[in-house]
Amino acid sequence: MDELSADSIKEKLRLLKEEFGVEHGYEELQKRFLQLQAIFRFTLDGQILLTKSGVILSANPAIGKLLGYTAGEMLEISRKDILDESEEQIQEMLRIRNEKGSFQGEIHMLHKSGQRIPVEISTVLFEIDQESFASVTVRDIRPRIAIEENRKKSEALVKLLMENTEESFFLLDKDLNIVSLNKTARLMSQRLLNKKPEPGTSIFELAQDERREELKELYAEVLCGIKRESEITIPQPDGGYRYFLIKYDPLFDEQGKVQGVFVNTSETTAIRVAELAFQKQKALFESLVQRTTDGTVILDTDGTIRFANDSSKSLLGLNPDAVVGTSGLDLVYQDDLKRAQQALADLVIYPDKPLEIEIRLLNDVAKPVWCELRAVNQVMNPHIGGLVVHFHDISARKAQEAELYESRKSLSQLLNNTEESFILCDRNLKVTAFNQAASDRNETINNRPMVIGESLLTTIASYRVDQARELARHVFKEGKSIKTTAHHVLANGSSMLLALEYSPVYEDDGRISGLCIIGNDVTDIRKAEAALLSSRQRLMNAQHIARLGSWDFEIESGELLWSDEVYNIYGLDIETDKPSERLVYKLVHPEDVTPFREAVNAVLDGRTDKLDFQHRLIHPNLKQRWLHQRGELRKGENGKTWLVGTVQDITEQKAIDHEMELSIERFRMVEMATNDVIWDLDLETDQLIWASTIERVFGYSSKDPAINDMRWWESKIHPEDGSRTFHSLYKHQHSNEKIWTEQYRFLHADGSYRDVLDRGYTVFDEEGKAIRIIGSMQDITETINQQRQIAEYADRLEGMVSSITDSFFTLDKQWRFSYLNPVAEKEFSVDGLSNHNKIIWEAFPELQKSELERLFRKTITGKKPIQFEHLLFGKWYAFNLYPQNRGLSVYARDISAKKLEEERLRLLESVITNTNDAILITEAEPLNEPGPRIVFVNEAFTRMTGYTAEEVLGKNPRILQGPETDRKVLDKLRNAFLAWHPVEVEVINYCKDGTPFWSNFSIVPIANEKGWYTHWISIQRNITERKEAEVAQKLLNEELMKQNYGLEQFSYITSHNLRAPVANLMSLLDLLDRQDLANPSNQELLDMIDLSAHRMDETLNELIKVLKIKGETNPGFVQVCFQEVYNRVLDNIGALLQDAKGIVATHFEVPEMAYAASHIESIMLNMLTNAIKYRSPDRNLMIDISSEAKDEFVVLSFRDNGLGIDLNRYKNRLFGMYQRFHNNADSRGLGLYIVHAQVQALGGKIEVDSDVGVGTTFRVYLKNTFDARINH
Amino acid sequence: MRVLIIDDDPILIMVCSRLMNITGFSQAVASSRDGKEGMEYLKTCLQERPAELPDIILLDINMPVMNGWDFLDLYRNIERELPNKICIVMLSSTVDQADYDRANSYEQVRGFYSKPLTKENLPEIKALVGI
């Protein structure tokens, strides 16, 4: 190997420079220099120039960085220091290069630290002045390897997940052909649909015929980017159904276009079956109870809160009672109000679309709290009738997100371009972030590391502090970037020239939050430029290898220059095609033209300082390619401005990236579609990697490094499940089984244990040793809870059904008894043997072709419940038939007793109808207006009252009452009604035609089986005849009483008025001295005996008179003139009247009447005698006698001004015999009695008015109805 | 023994007082023509000559102005003021059972005799006094 001395190379380079200078002048040279500098700056690939023998002449920063050497160090090492291959391999490589002039391949290089780095190299030999040089382009292929590994891994995961789940997956392209599907999908299709789907066939081939149209519409929507869900029901041969929930998720490419569909099917039969059973409770249960830790409110469609659960109190501190009735929007933080209103409107307008939104709600102290809201429209749900909103506090998460956002923002700035050093400071110039380059450089320059949180001013070299402070102040003030250079003398005596750029860091809201210092070591560039200038050829080669072209564009003239490789990349001919801006845009994919122009303009306008744009290229002959344009503005010393840049073909890279993205996207989709948490356990290191879903499912941050340890997982397992789970995993590792499955309880970050189903899939190395387990962990708490609930519900239902006292059984579609409750077992058995699983028509052949069979079948075909009563096995049953998906439910109640009762009632009814007593039934109430309604009357009622049933039904019985109806009786009735007592009354009622009749009512309250009174039954009888008879009887009785009174009076006379004088006579005679008759005391006694005997004679005469009046039925009627009779009486008592100094005035308005003359004379005599006898001693007697006509009577009145009678005391005895009211000597008590007897005997009466000390008036009513007798 | 006869029949009063004088039953027989007079007599005695209050009252039923029943009702009101209870004996010609029953309902009435009063009745009446 011939070695070149460093001096000779330098000489050649100088010559080369001179040569260029001659040919193109300084300007050209400057242009080239810039071009080369750009290449060096922008290529990420390492570039090394070395002699044929392997001495490194020049190396760019990228290779130095890759291998860990500084630019200076790179020049001091040789090829063998950086190659990590065996000597044979190196020789083979060199041989190929030397023979063919170039070599390309993948080898390993050695980092300064000794680390092995896989790289792709291409090396080219070229000659300058018969000296051979080698140019080597080195590309770090570690990212590619990592990507490939990741891709393989994630594909394995996807595959694993897809194969090891009970959910089926289909991945469809945008033509809806199957791209891939998992085992479950295959099995399900085969079992349920009897179809064998294969990749490449259309998904529609799987569809049930009747669903095809529906599915087409559905997929059309999904292809428009809308997520859909549908549920299908597949009938089973056993008559049952299986339910499946299918989710259709559109898959988007990076432009947001739908490129396919992800179809995920899971069976929901178990849940659906239970759901059907307790749908009612479930609606509320699910919405309200299931998520107890969530706040739950129910809103009306206008946002008014109708209900808030207790959790809303713990979350927001709001009293549920206080918020009910207020608007839910009042709780929303002002800044989020518009979004909340929109969301509410959407929820109301699109009721099928659940709402998920993150907004701030105000708590009890009006502080905004970040909450995640999930809302469903349950307005049509009759049990809820509103919008159900669940929410929970996500402030913590939000805070984390904000932090993450901050760190990402900083990070992205940092990692933009690793060749440059970055330092980020806050406004106080405290270092908040820096990149490796900055750290390295600082160490090189200042010999101290950078520390986050330290002041920038203490970090940088002391002699630059003032400058830095001044620059920072300027940046903060002006908000503009400032460029400067800084020259450093390093410890080893070499110098370093840094190009520094101080830029402001902006917040979202435009505030300057900090400072970014970008530093570029321009020392190396200046060194390298010399080396690169040495060879145009080398440049071309390097560009070609890297598929990297360079270009420069003079802005003012529009002149564009391309390196040769640009022609290759664009697919143009270097001879015929001239570089122009127009040509470039013509080649750019039409969709990318505008953004590309915009990116270029942004640089030209100074909005950004670097061009970095990827676009597609329409190659005239070749396939579509991806190009990466990078560039920046450079100012020449003559004031001209160039846009200088490179273009690189990145098609291959793009393809890998794209594939990777797709793969990651699929992984993400699967991750999203399932709630499984994927984990990856490295069995050698016990390192455990979790998918990010762990955060969503179990609440642990996937970024927390603590979770990446096997021991962490162990610590989260429920102590009771721990040893079993570890043991089974341990056992699994040492078996050859591929699949590990375990169910255990796993601690959620919220402190609760979740039931999980964990499935692991072991990966073995070539020697069959288990090296990794990849698994998926599924939270099945809800499923288990649901199963538990379903089981409990089933128990409850079973208990309910078996405890009912009526028969209940179900029949399946084959008419087999699928369930019989204990009563049904008893009633519907044959010879005591259960009919379970027997076909009803075989168990009871007599039912075949019966009406019952017809109705059973009708229920199933009509799909509507039917109720009827039917005679079966000698008993009457009330049947309720309910159609079910699986057959028929039959509820049969034995109503034989009821039927018997009904029969009896029917008999009773016929009796009631035919009886002669009127029967009227009313409802029990109301007793007040409008009164109880009549619900029944029989024919007898119609006969009695004239009212037909139609006329009175619905009215109340008061229509029968009328003016003569006795109110007292009605009150009695009412009181009985109020007390629910039976009552019997007699009252005058009225027929329809107004005729009154006496009615006997017997009214009884009727109670139902519970003892509540529901009706009154009244039985009525017309008792008018009886009543009339009673009146006659009463009259008779009165006459009898009168007669009796007469008799009593008579006995009184005998006892008193006759016995007393006789007793006196006897006593007097007893006292008589019979021995000595001449005894003077005898004389007195004899006088008394004489008196007594006369008295007795008078009494006897009067008695005879009385008897005569009483016996006198026709005393001889004549026309009697009152004045004449008065005159005759006056003849008799004239002397008496004169003694009493009485004056009599007569005024006979009716002068005469037909009457018994002796009676009128007796009346006048007695009345006048009485008036004289009982005259007042204080005044002269005045008597007034008059006659007048009144009705059928002639009234004779006698008015005096005598003593008067105390009527309160004596009225009842006034006309009795021998009643005396004055101790008047003449009074014997017979006069008024005789007058009364006489008047009464001829149908009249006597009235008396009297005031003691004022006078008395007697009015004698003489009946005037005996005219006929006169003629007679 | 002091006796008050209340009766509207002067013959009966005369006969009774003679009978009582002759038999030695009483030498102090007063009389009133009706209940009202009887009551006034009792009140006068009570106020002016309590010693002359009768031991026995013979009471008729049927009298003008105030009959025997009304007298009894008034007597009940003044009975408490009397130093000694008076033995009241009904003397009537009634044959009505109702009158007997009514008389029985007065605890003040200790006997009931039909007219005429005879010598044989007197020892019995004497026995009633002081019960």
CB within 8 Å: B116 and A1066: yes
Testing the interface with A: which of B62, B96, B122 to mutate, by most A Cβ within 10 A? B62
pLDDT at A294: 61
Domains A915-1022 and A1112-1271 fall in the same CATH topology: no
Q: Does B115 touch chain A (CB under 8 A)?
A: yes
- Measured between beta carbons, which residues in chain A are less than 8 angstroms from residue B115? 1059-1060, 1063-1064
Closest-CA distance of chain B to residue A1211, Å: 13
Band of residue A686 on the pLDDT scale cut at 50, 70, 90: confident
Helix (H, G, I), strand (E, B) or coil at A138: strand
Q: Does B21 touch chain A (CB under 8 A)?
A: no
Structural domains of chain B sorted by starting position, each given as residue range(s) with its CATH number in brackets: 2-128 (3.40.50.2300)
- Measured between beta carbons, which residues in chain A are less than 8 angstroms from residue B116? 1063-1064, 1066-1067
- Measured between beta carbons, which residues in chain A are less than 8 angstroms from residue B93? 1055-1056, 1059-1060, 1063
Closest residue in A to B70 (Cα–Cα): A1209
Q: Which residues contact A20 (CB under 8 A, 6 or more apart)?
A: A28, A29, A32, A533
- Residues 24-83 (B) with a CB less than 8 A from some CB of A: 33-34, 62, 64-65
Q: Which residues contact A624 (CB under 8 A, 6 or more apart)?
A: A589, A616, A617, A618, A651
Closest-CA distance of chain B to residue A1081, Å: 11
Quickly name the fold that domain A1112-1271 has: Heat Shock Protein 90 (3.30.565)
> Distance (Å, rounded) from C-alpha A424 to C-alpha A434?
6
**Residue A584 CB coordination number (10 Å):** 22
For residue A276, pLDDT beyond 50: yes
CATH 3.30.450.20 fits A412-524, yes or no: yes
> Which of B12, B18, B65 lies nearest to residue A1071, judging by beta carbons?
B18
Testing the interface with B: which of A1044, A1049, A1055 to mutate, by most B Cβ within 10 A? A1055
- Measured between beta carbons, which residues in chain A are less than 8 angstroms from residue B95? 1051, 1054-1055, 1059
Q: Please name every residue paired with A504 in a beta bridge, in sequence order, or none if there are none.
A: A515
For residue A1048, pLDDT beyond 70: no
The 10s digit of each residue's pLDDT in A1124-1179 is 889 888 887 888 888 888 889 989 998 988 888 778 888 888 888 888 888 888 88
Q: Which residues contact A936 (CB under 8 A, 6 or more apart)?
A: A919, A920, A921, A949, A953
pLDDT at A544: 57
Q: Which superfamily is assigned to A296-393 in CATH?
A: PAS domain (3.30.450.20)
Q: Which residues contact A1013 (CB under 8 A, 6 or more apart)?
A: A924, A980, A1005, A1006, A1007
Q: Which residues contact B57 (CB under 8 A, 6 or more apart)?
A: B3, B4, B5, B6, B38, B86, B87, B88, B89
For all residues of chain B together, what is the average pLDDT?
88
The 10s digit of each residue's pLDDT in A689-716 is 887 778 878 888 878 888 888 888 888 8
Q: Which residue has the higher pLDDT, A405 or A302?
A: A302
Give the start-to-end residue ranges of the domains of chain A: 145-267, 296-393, 412-524, 675-706+717-785, 804-898, 915-1022, 1112-1271
CB within 8 Å: A1068 and B15: yes
Tokens of A121: 């190299």
pLDDT at A1187: 92
The stretch A278-307 carries a mean pLDDT of 60
The residue to which tokens 């690169």 are assigned:
A532
pLDDT at A1098: 77
Secondary structure in 3-state letters for A614-669: EEEECCCCCCCEEEEEEEEEEECCCCCEEEEEEEEECHHHHHHHHHHHHHHHHHHH
> Distance (Å, rounded) from C-alpha A73 to C-alpha A113?
13
> Which of B64, B65, B116 lies nearest to residue A1067, judging by beta carbons?
B116
Using a pLDDT cut of 90, give the percent of chain A over it.
2
CB within 8 Å: B62 and A1222: no
> Which of B15, B22, B65 lies nearest to residue A1064, judging by beta carbons?
B15
Band of residue A417 on the pLDDT scale cut at 50, 70, 90: very low
User: Could you tell me which of A402, A344, A902, A1050 has the C-alpha nearest to residue B95?
Assistant: A1050
Long-range contacts of A128-131 (CB under 8 A, 24+ apart): A128/A12, A128/A16, A128/A534, A128/A535, A128/A537, A129/A12, A131/A4, A131/A9, A131/A12, A131/A51
Testing the interface with B: which of A1223, A1230, A1252 to mutate, by most B Cβ within 10 A? A1223
pLDDT at A1228: 53
For residue A412, pLDDT beyond 60: no
For residue A1057, pLDDT beyond 80: no
DSSP A1149: S
> Distance (Å, rounded) from C-alpha A627 to C-alpha A592?
11
- Measured between beta carbons, which residues in chain A are less than 8 angstroms from residue B19? 1067, 1071
The 10s digit of each residue's pLDDT in A874-900 is 788 888 888 877 788 888 877 777 777
Secondary-structure class of domain A675-706+717-785 per CATH: alpha beta
The 10s digit of each residue's pLDDT in A575-596 is 888 888 888 888 888 888 889 8
Closest residue in A to B12 (Cα–Cα): A1064
Using a pLDDT cut of 70, give the percent of chain A over it.
78
Secondary-structure class of domain A804-898 per CATH: alpha beta
The 10s digit of each residue's pLDDT in A124-158 is 887 766 777 788 888 888 877 777 776 676 666 66
**Residue B46 CB coordination number (10 Å):** 15
For residue A777, pLDDT beyond 90: no
pLDDT at A533: 45
User: Could you tell me which of B2, B94, B74, B1 has the C-alpha nearest to residue B34?
Assistant: B74
> Distance (Å, rounded) from C-alpha A337 to C-alpha A326?
15
Closest-CA distance of chain B to residue A1258, Å: 20
The 10s digit of each residue's pLDDT in A69-90 is 887 787 788 787 888 888 888 8
Q: Compute, in degrees rounded to 10, the torsion defined by CA atoms A432, A435, A440, A444.
A: -50
Closest-CA distance of chain B to residue A1072, Å: 11
Closest-CA distance of chain B to residue A1166, Å: 19
Q: Which CATH number fits domain A915-1022: 3.40.50.2000, 1.10.3720.10, 1.20.1530.20, 3.30.450.20?
A: 3.30.450.20
Band of residue B89 on the pLDDT scale cut at 50, 70, 90: very high
**What is this model's ipTM?**
0.74
For all residues of chain A together, what is the average pLDDT?
77
CB within 8 Å: B18 and A1056: no
CB within 8 Å: B11 and A1068: yes
pLDDT at A281: 43
Q: Which CATH number fits domain A145-267: 3.30.1360.200, 3.30.450.20, 3.40.250.10, 1.10.260.40?
A: 3.30.450.20
Handedness of CA A751, A753, A758, A763 (dihedral sign): positive
In total, the C-beta contacts within 8 angstroms joining chain A to chain B are 62
User: Could you tell me which of B64, B32, B91 has the C-alpha nearest to residue A1225?
Assistant: B64
Q: Does B93 touch chain A (CB under 8 A)?
A: yes
> Distance (Å, rounded) from C-alpha A157 to C-alpha A677?
11
